[in-house]
Amino acid sequence: MAVLDDFRKEIKNKLKFDRAFRSVEVRADSIEEAIKDASIQLGAKPADLDYEIIHRGNKGVLGFAVKPWYLRVFITNMEVVNSDSNDDIDEFYGDGSFHTEEEEEIAVPDEDGKFFVHYNEGNIILKVVPPVGDGFPVSAENITKAIIFDPEYTADQTAILKAVKTGTNGAYVVIGTCPHIPDNDARFTVDISQDDMTVTINPLAPGKHGSDLTVEKIKKRLSEKGVVFGFCEDKIVDFVDSPVYNTPQVVARGQPEANGRDAYMDFKFDTNPNPRKAKIGEDGQINFKELNITQNVVEGQVLAVKVPAEKGQPGKTVKGLVLEAKDGKDISLPVGKNTDVGTEKNTIVATCNGQVLLFANKVTVDPIMEIAGDVGIKTGNITFLGSIVVRGNVEDGFNIKASGNIEISGTVGACRIESDGDVIVSLGIMGKDEGYISAGKSVYAKFVQNTTIEAGENIIVADGLINSNATAKKRIAVKGKRASIMGGRIFAAEEVIAKNIGSNAGGAETIIEVGYDPVKKKRLDELLEIQRNLVKELDEVTMNTQTLETQKREQRFLSQDKEDTLQSLIIRRGEIMDESDEFSREIQEIQEYLSSIKSVGKISASGCVYPGVKMSIRDLHEDVRVEATRVTFYIEGNMIRQQKYSAGDDDK
């Protein structure tokens, strides 16, 4: 007992030691979320945890190929570990007794004992099977009753009692003697199938004083018939124990050969050429705008895996003849355009972003997606890791998002079009005050009306830019027979050029701004607003802090609520000052950047600039009061000046 107690103590100490290094492995979209999850699992504060990265996460591209972070998080604060009570350790031992897996009770079905009495060449033989679980054992009385009642039959009660007590270990033992007439023995014929794969016996019951069949007799006869393989041992034993005569019994089976399975490709995408899977929202409603007809993949993504061919398994007849089997056939990897063999040699990976297709039985990635008609109810919204060509229109309410260029042959309605490259619209864009166009590079269109446009480079419009908000980091040019900018806010870093700017008949306000980075300017405005709010909050926090500190000095103490409030205000004041310093640094950086822009900015019109147009060039502002024709506005000194428009301005 002392040894067992020592063992318990050793295990308890080991558990406490292990707890000091207790860790969990977690997956999450970010390290912060993983730490938060681990803190819940480990019952510790995030500050008491540390981690190591098992696999780095990836945000993916356009929401695809996202990989979670995989961390091992463990407790580093030993005080947290040691502060735990030993309740959970004691609970491990329950009432103090220690149980091993071998000692755990395993539930088994109860089954009564069995016995079988047969007669073999002048002997009475017995087989006893012990009970299982709480089953009833075999009784010697029942065995005695089962023996044929005849003065010539003698049974050894001592042998019977011994067999009942110890069992017979699956064999038959002699427990007595009986008369034997060999001509009345049980007999059977052997039938071997034509393909030597199945052996059947047809048994006939014994006559008076005849012997029953035994396993040895059956196997001996089968061997004489050339059977050397595939004996159905269990079936033969069951038949001998409980014979069913005049009924064919299968006693041997050959092993058929198994040809190896051919190699095949496990495609990691839907090989249906027109997959349509409508998206189901959180409310259970089907969103028919999200048909997911495109299967986007990213460079390096595994598209298919070859499952290797299997070797054939040879068979054998009951007479021992080996049956040869065919090995499965290998296949070559169906590598198509923009795909290649992966480092594992049995995979196909994408070599570029795009849509994956099974074209001409080859895995292909197409970096350009072509829509033959309109983008609408038949296609749903389109999201593609590549360039998109639309041969028709984009209907109201449907969106396109691409990592490459977007080219549209028709018109664009109240839609959201987003591209990392260029957006090219052969006809017009009629946004109906809801349309939004975003391009990483430039936007080209015949005309634009009631739409918001943002371009990383230029916005080029042939006819009119009407009642729209347009932002470009370089130039906005409206050039054509009806090349007019009417209404809206036009924002360009370098230059705005058009035939006519504003409207002779009045109408919506037209604002033209040039000479600075519009994105940086927008961010600067946001930061200045945040800074103003922080200053107001700091003044309020400082005033409340000073009030509470004055009360504490005068009264020498504060109530617990006021003391907590004071400490919170002090902490918040420090946070505000840190945030303000950070925003101030970013404001200064943006201001220095905007001041360093070489382009002073120009606004040019080959036709007219009508009264009412509001223009800004860098930090200077001017409202046009008199109609100006063929003019270019620019900065000289600290004033906005005019000069004669020249045709060369169109080429810049």
DSSP per position, 1-58: -HHHHHHHHHHHHHHHHHHHT-EEEEEESSHHHHHHHHHHHHT--GGGEEEEEEE--B
Dist CA 434 CA 451 (whole Å): 7
Q: Classify 649 as helix, strand or coil.
A: helix
Closest by CA to 617, choosing from 605, 633, 593, 606, is 633
What are the φ/ψ torsions at residue 10 (nearest 5 degrees)? -60, -40
Number of C-beta neighbours around residue 361 at 10 A: 9
**How confident is the model over 141-166, as pLDDT tens digits?**
888 888 877 788 888 888 999 888 88
**Number of H-type helices and E-type strands within the chain:** 10, 41
Distance of CA 96 to the CA centre of its chain: 45
List Cβ neighbours of 557 (8 Å cut-off, separation of 6 or more). Answer: none
Which amino acid is present at 515? G
**How confident is the model over 265-318, as pLDDT tens digits?**
999 988 876 655 545 555 555 444 555 567 888 899 999 999 999 999 999 999
Dist CA 373 CA 384 (whole Å): 17
Q: 33 near 53, Cβ under 8 Å?
A: no
Which amino acid is present at 4? L
Half-sphere exposure of 627 (CA within 13 A, CB side): 11
Distance of CA 310 to the CA centre of its chain: 30
pLDDT for residue 614 is more than 80? yes
Q: What is the pLDDT of residue 480?
A: 81
Helices (H), 167-242: 215-224, 233-241
Closest by CA to 434, choosing from 448, 411, 414, is 414
Q: What is the pLDDT of residue 282?
A: 58
Q: With bands split at pLDDT 50, 70 and 90, how would you rate the model's confidence at 80?
A: low
Ramachandran area for residue 276 (φ above 0: left; ψ -120 to 50: alpha; else beta): beta
pLDDT for residue 595 is more than 80? no
pLDDT: which is higher, 146 or 65:
146
pLDDT for residue 241 is more than 90? yes
Read off the DSSP letter of residue 132: B
Closest by CA to 289, choosing from 383, 362, 365, 379, is 379
Least confident of 21-25, 99-103, 638-642: 99-103
Residue 475 CA: distances (Å) to CA of 522, 613, 651: 17, 19, 11
**How confident is the model over 338-397, as pLDDT tens digits?**
999 998 889 999 999 888 888 889 999 989 988 989 998 888 888 888 899 999 999 999
Half-sphere exposure of 392 (CA within 13 A, CB side): 11
Q: With bands split at pLDDT 50, 70 and 90, how would you rate the model's confidence at 22?
A: low
Nearest 5 degrees, angle CA 417-CA 421-CA 425?
50
pLDDT: which is higher, 110 or 530:
530
Read off the DSSP letter of residue 64: B
Least confident of 17-21, 306-310, 591-595: 17-21
Q: What is the pLDDT of residue 378?
A: 85
Helix 215-224 / helix 233-241 crossing angle, nearest 10 deg: 130
pLDDT for residue 563 is more than 60? yes
Q: What is the pLDDT of residue 152?
A: 84
Q: 296 near 352, Cβ under 8 Å?
A: no
Q: With bands split at pLDDT 50, 70 and 90, how would you rate the model's confidence at 465?
A: very high
Beta bridge partners of 50: 74
Distance of CA 614 to the CA centre of its chain: 52
Q: What is the pLDDT of residue 397?
A: 92
Q: What is the pLDDT of residue 316?
A: 94
- What value does the mean pLDDT of the chain take? 84
Residue range 87-110: mean pLDDT, rounded? 49
Q: What is the pLDDT of residue 255?
A: 94
Residue range 550-555: mean pLDDT, rounded? 85
The residue count for the chain: 652
The proportion of the chain whose per-residue pLDDT surpasses 70, expressed as a percent, equals 85
The proportion of the chain whose per-residue pLDDT surpasses 90, expressed as a percent, equals 52
Closest by CA to 75, choosing from 16, 14, 10, 11, is 16
Helix 518-555 / helix 560-596 crossing angle, nearest 10 deg: 150
Q: What is the pLDDT of residue 323?
A: 93
Q: What is the pLDDT of residue 101?
A: 43
Q: 585 near 463, Cβ under 8 Å?
A: no
pLDDT for residue 85 is more than 90? no
pTM: 0.54
Q: What is the pLDDT of residue 103?
A: 43
List Cβ neighbours of 117 (8 Å cut-off, separation of 6 or more). Answer: 124, 125, 126, 143, 146, 147
Token pair in block for residue 564: 């907590």
pLDDT: which is higher, 82 or 422:
422
Q: What is the pLDDT of residue 618?
A: 81
pLDDT: which is higher, 579 or 55:
579
**How confident is the model over 424-439, as pLDDT tens digits?**
999 999 999 999 999 9
Residue 600 CA: distances (Å) to CA of 239, 337, 511, 604: 105, 48, 18, 13
